[in-house]
Every structure is written in C-alpha cells, then in structure tokens.
Amino acid sequence: MRELALHILDIIQNSLRAGAKLIEVEIVEDTRLDTLMVLIRDDGSGMDEVLLERVIDPFTTTRTTRKVGLGIPLMKMAAESAAGDFTIDSRLGEGTVVKATFVHSHIDRMPLGNMADTISTVIAGNPTVDLVYRHRINDDVSGLDTRLLKAEVGEEALTVPSVIEWVKIYLKEGSSYLMEV
C-alpha cells in the first residue's frame, strides 16, 4: 500500500468486523514537533490479552477465508520505517484503539494520501455505523461526524450515491461544519 489512508481504511475494516457502532479516526500533524499521529478507536467486540498479543503476527487472523492477516503488521511496518511507533490497546467487550506515530519529515514516511476517499468509502459501504473523523494540522481542524450528517439527511440517505458525492467533496474541501470541534 502506498498511502497511510489505505492502511487506515484497512484498520477500519477490522473495527467493522468487530461489530463497531462508533469508529473514531483522528489524524494529528504537528510540523513544529515533526510528528504525525494516526489513531483509530472503536467500540467493537475487542480482544482478550491472548489474541491481543498474537495480533501483530501476520499468521494470526480471525477470518476463515484465508490463513494470514496482514492489515496490522503492514501498518506497524509503515510506522516503524518512519522512526515511529505502533500500539494496540484492546479490552474484550469494550473496543480497540490502534495508534501509529511517525516522524513527519522522515524520508520513508508514507504520504497520508487521500483521506477524503477513505472516509467516504467507509460511509458509503457502512451507512449504519457512526464515524467521527478529525484531521488536525497544527492549529487547523477539519473533519466530519456522521451523526451530524445523519441529523441533516437521515441514515438511509447515506446509501444514495449523490449524497456520498457531496460528502466526498465536503471532505476534500477540508470543511469542519459537520463536526464538533
């Protein structure tokens, strides 16, 4: 994968498979501290300590269609190649938090890529799940809270292509009026 946004999309799929009803995605870029932080928090089924220890291993997966799970190891590798860090915290029955940090200016730090596409893909494919997306670059914040979006158009409207197109452009423009800052 060539973009952090694709790794983020992949980690969100884990949250969805864990039955999450609310997923929070936070990106913080601080050019003064030269850091980039990505955090994905969900309220899904979570993992016990045994699975949590094994989950970094590519030969661990909960799926039955194939025997390897590469999502988490790939993102860990992306962070570690950019002098960063990768952690997962999880509690069974409560949810999971995945956090990756990067040295912003590191030559091997993957570009963030297209977060508007990642977030609108998740919304289009999973209209019943709530998603809070926040992207901070120094003092500027943009993002979207699908609960506010649903308050405007209704949940079912998130399955309508013209509404998803609106959301995609809203995100591309870096707006923030559909979120709580």
In whole angstroms, the minimum distance from the beta carbon of 48 to other proteins comes to: 21
By C-beta, is 104 or 131 nearer to other proteins? 131
By C-beta, is 107 or 177 nearer to other proteins? 177
In whole angstroms, the minimum distance from the beta carbon of 7 to other proteins comes to: 9
In whole angstroms, the minimum distance from the beta carbon of 115 to other proteins comes to: 11
By C-beta, is 104 or 119 nearer to other proteins? 119
- Please, what is the Cα angle at 29 between 129 and 5, to 5 degrees? 45
In three state form, how does the secondary structure of the chain look?
CCCHHHHHHHHHHHHHHCCCCEEEEEEEEECCCCEEEEEEEECCCCCCHHHHHHCCCCCCCCCCCCCCCCHHHHHHHHHHHCCCEEEEEEECCCEEEEEEEEECCCCCCCCCCCHHHHHHHHHHHCCCCEEEEEEEECCEEEEEEHHHHHHHHCHHHHHCHHHHHHHHHHHHCCCCCCCCC
By C-beta, is 30 or 117 nearer to other proteins? 117
In whole angstroms, the minimum distance from the beta carbon of 5 to other proteins comes to: 8
By C-beta, is 103 or 125 nearer to other proteins? 125
The residues binding other proteins (CB under 8 A) are 1, 6, 9-10, 13, 17, 63, 65-66, 69-71, 74, 117-118, 120-121, 124-126, 149, 152-154, 156-157, 159-166, 168-170, 173, 175, 177
In whole angstroms, the minimum distance from the beta carbon of 160 to other proteins comes to: 4
